[in-house]
Amino acid sequence: MASSYSEVLIPLTIPSPTVLPFPDFPTPSPFFDWVLVWQILIALDATQNIAQMASQSDLFSYATDANISEISYPGDPTLPMHDSSSRSSRSIIKDWDAVSQAVRSHWVLSARTGQTTGWFWAHGYDVQARSKGNESGPHTWLCCHCVQHGVPRPKAYVSSNTRNIEAKKRKRDDFHDELVTRFDKTTFQRHIVQWITDANLSFRVPEHKGLQKVFQYLNPLVHETSANLTHETVRVRIIDEFNTYKSRVIHALSRSPSQVHIAFDGWTSRNRHSFFSTNAFFLDEDTFQPRKIVLGLPNVAIAHTGENISAAIMEVLDDFGLIASNKVGCIILDNAASNEGAVEAIGHKLQWQNPASRRIRCFGHILHLVAKALLFIKDSNTLEDLDADDFTEWTKRGPVGKLHNLVVWVNRSNKATAILRKIQDEDPDKSYPGTLDVVLDNGTRWLSQYYMIERAIKLRRVECWRVHPQL
C-alpha cells in the first residue's frame, strides 16, 4: 500500500486478517502503515465496531500502540522514553497507596484486565473517575509527575485520546529545551563567586555536597556541564573578576574631572592579619556626582611605621595609575601618630611641597574622642591603652565603667547569662521578641560604648541585683 506517512512505518507481526470485518481487506506487508488504516476506519464510520473490538483484537492493540508511539522524541531527563519495559498497571499499583487522599478521593485504579503498553503509561496512572454508584468510567491517564509534585489539579486525559497526552509531552520538552538554552555555565559560576564575596563565605562552600544536590535538583545541567566550583577555582575566578573590573575603575579615575582623594586606615582581621583599607573619592565623569570605591587592602605584616605604611599605600596608588597621572589630591586620616610620618613619606614621593597641607583630619574620629572624653572625664587617649579586663581602672570611670564591669561578669558566667535570659522570658511586658544578651564594649572600636549603653537601656527592666548580687 502506498503511503504518505513513510516516516512513521512500524514493523509488526500481523495476526490473521479475519480479525477485521472487511472481506476485501488486502493482506498487510511486514511494514504496514497503521496510521492510514486508522484513518480509513474512521472514514467508514466504524467507531462502534472498533470499540467492541478493543478488548478482543490484538491487531487493534498494535494499531493504537503504533498510533501513540509514532512520534520519536529526543532524550528528555524529565520524561525518559522506554522500549519494551513500559510501566504496567500492576507496577503502578505498588505506589498508588502513596498518593495523597485528595487525589484518591477523585480517582480509583482502573479495573482493566489487560496490560497497558503505550510509552506514556510510564508517566501516568491508569485510573477511572470515582463516582457514587458506578466506578466504571472511561479509562484515564493521570499524570504521575503532577501527583508526585503536589499539583492541586493534576493533568488527566482519557487514554483513548492520545493527542492531549502528546501535547503535554511536547510542552514538557519545550520547557526542558528552554531550560537547556537559558543555562550558561559562565554566568552560573559568576553568580556563585559574587555570592561568596558579598556574603564573605568560605571558598569551600561550593564544594558542599548538600549545596551541589540543590543545584542538581534545580537544573541537572549544573552537573552535566561540570559547573560546580572548587575552592581553588573560586580563588582564581575572584582574581579574574577583580582584574576585569579593575580596568573599569582605572578608566573612571583617569576620566574624573576632579582629583582623586585618598583615605586609609588600619584594620586587624579575626585571624590576626593586619590590613590597610585604601579608599578613593572622586567625581563621576558623566554626572559630576561624588563617588567612592575601595581600591585595595594591602597587608602590612611589618611594623606600622610611617615609611612602611606609605610604601603599601603607594603600591596601591601606582597600581591604579594615580601616580603617573598626578591625580592624587588630599589624604584623609585619623590622629594616629604613625600617620604623620606616612603623609610626609607619601608627599615626598609625590613631590608635594607641603605634605601637611594635603592632610585632612577625620572629623568622625575627632567627634569620637570628644564623646569618650565626656563619658570618662579623663584623657580619652589613655583609654585605648587599657586592658578591657582591668576592673580597677574601669570602676574609676563612673557609671559607664560599672556597666562595663557588669557586662564582663555576665559574659564570663554561663549561669548569669541563663538567669538574664530566664528573667526576660518571664517578663510579659517586654517590648521585643525572644531574649537579648548584653553587649560588651571595646576601647578601640568606634561606637562600642554606645551599643553597650543602648542594650543596657533596653534591658533596664531586668533587676540587676537578681543577676549580680554585689551590685
Shared-domain flag, residues 208 and 297: no
Q: Is residue 80 part of a domain?
A: no
Shared-domain flag, residues 227 and 294: no
Report pLDDT for 163: 60
Report pLDDT for 238: 92
Q: Is residue 367 part of a domain?
A: no
Could you read off the pLDDT tens digit of each residue along the chain, which spans 471 residues? 444 433 433 343 434 444 444 344 444 444 444 444 444 444 444 444 434 444 343 333 333 333 333 333 333 333 333 333 334 344 444 477 778 877 777 777 877 766 666 666 777 777 888 776 655 677 787 787 777 777 777 777 776 656 656 565 555 554 455 555 567 888 899 999 999 999 999 999 999 999 999 998 888 888 888 899 999 999 999 999 888 889 999 999 999 999 999 999 988 888 888 999 999 999 999 999 999 999 999 999 888 898 999 999 999 999 999 998 899 999 999 888 889 999 999 999 999 999 999 999 988 888 887 887 777 655 555 555 555 555 456 556 778 888 888 899 888 989 888 888 888 888 888 888 888 899 998 877 778 888 999 999 888 876 655 655 544
**What is the pTM (predicted TM-score) of this model?**
0.53
C-alpha of 381 from chain center: 46
Report pLDDT for 322: 94
Shared-domain flag, residues 191 and 232: yes
Shared-domain flag, residues 264 and 349: yes
Shared-domain flag, residues 113 and 54: no
d(Cα 8, Cα 66) in Å, to the nearest integer?
Answer: 9
Shared-domain flag, residues 156 and 194: no
Shared-domain flag, residues 172 and 196: no
Residues contacting residue 51 through CB under 8 Å, at least 6 positions apart: none
Shared-domain flag, residues 13 and 58: yes
Q: Look up cell 534591658; give the residue.
A: 459
Shared-domain flag, residues 155 and 95: yes
Give the sheet arrangement for strand 274-283, strand by strand: 290-296, 274-283, 260-268, 328-333, 359-361
Shared-domain flag, residues 270 and 329: yes
C-alpha of 314 from chain center: 38
Domain span at residue 297 reads: 255-361
Q: Is residue 366 part of a domain?
A: no
Report pLDDT for 387: 54
Shared-domain flag, residues 142 and 190: no
Residues contacting residue 190 through CB under 8 Å, at least 6 positions apart: 237, 241
d(Cα 252, Cα 243) in Å, to the nearest integer?
Answer: 15
Report pLDDT for 285: 92
Shared-domain flag, residues 424 and 447: yes
Report pLDDT for 195: 94
Residues contacting residue 434 through CB under 8 Å, at least 6 positions apart: 424
Q: Is residue 248 part of a domain?
A: no
Q: Is residue 73 part of a domain?
A: no
Q: Is residue 157 part of a domain?
A: yes
Q: Is residue 79 part of a domain?
A: no
Report pLDDT for 382: 54
Say how many domains are in the chain: 5
